[in-house]
Amino acid sequence: MAYSDKVIDHYNNPRNVGSLDKDAKNVGTGIVGAPECGDVMKLQIQVDEHGKITDAKFKTYGCGSAIASSSLATEWLKGTSIDDAEAIKNTQIVEELSLPPVKIHCSVLAEDAIKAAIEDFRSKQQES
């Protein structure tokens, strides 16, 4: 199976790899896995007081498509509002990276990670 140029680019030069402080109140962390392939993906967002995502980081152990999907997701997340982030669909990732059908689950994983990070952030806000 051939990877698209965009997947290879994200794989070779992943954007925003790393971690944010998961205990910080303005940071939301989503961690999801695809047990069929033993993939695990962590995606974190840092949100300012206006609900804007000021930073996003990821760490993914998985195939090229999973890495590219999460790398692309962090690129899209940075600078966007948390509400717009919630609207990101895996199909947009599939389209942007030209993922073949067998790799669609990688984009689903990225969407799930975004949702989990937002949920974590929101639950932290409610605690206060």
Partner 1 sequence: MDLPRDELEQRYLEASRETHPDRAAASADETATLRRSAEVNDAYRALRDPWRRAEVIIAKADPSALDRKKDLCPVFLMEAMELAERVADAEPSEFSKLRQSIESRRDSYLQRLRSALAENRIDDAAVLLHESRYCRKALRDLEEREHPIG
Q: Name residues contacting partner 1, limited to 76-115 (CB under 8 A).
A: none
Least gap, CB of 28 to partner 1 (angstroms)? 12
Q: Three-state SS string across the chain, please?
A: CCCCHHHHHHHHCCCCECCCCCCCCCEEEEEEEECCCCEEEEEEEEECCCCEEEEEEEEEECCHHHHHHHHHHHHHHCCCEHHHHHCCCHHHHHHHHCCCHHHHHHHHHHHHHHHHHHHHHHHHHHHC
117 part of the interface to partner 1, by CB under 8 A: no
Q: Name residues contacting partner 1, limited to 52-71 (CB under 8 A).
A: 59, 61
32 part of the interface to partner 1, by CB under 8 A: yes
Least gap, CB of 31 to partner 1 (angstroms)? 5
CB 89 within 8 A of CB 57: no
Q: Is 37 a catalytic residue?
A: yes
Q: Which is nearer to partner 1, 32 or 114 (CB)?
A: 32
36 part of the interface to partner 1, by CB under 8 A: yes
How far out from the chain centre does Cα 61 lie?
A: 13
Q: Is 63 a catalytic residue?
A: no
33 part of the interface to partner 1, by CB under 8 A: yes
Binding site for partner 1 (CB under 8 A): 31-33, 35-38, 40, 42, 59, 61, 116
- Just list the catalytic residues: 37, 106
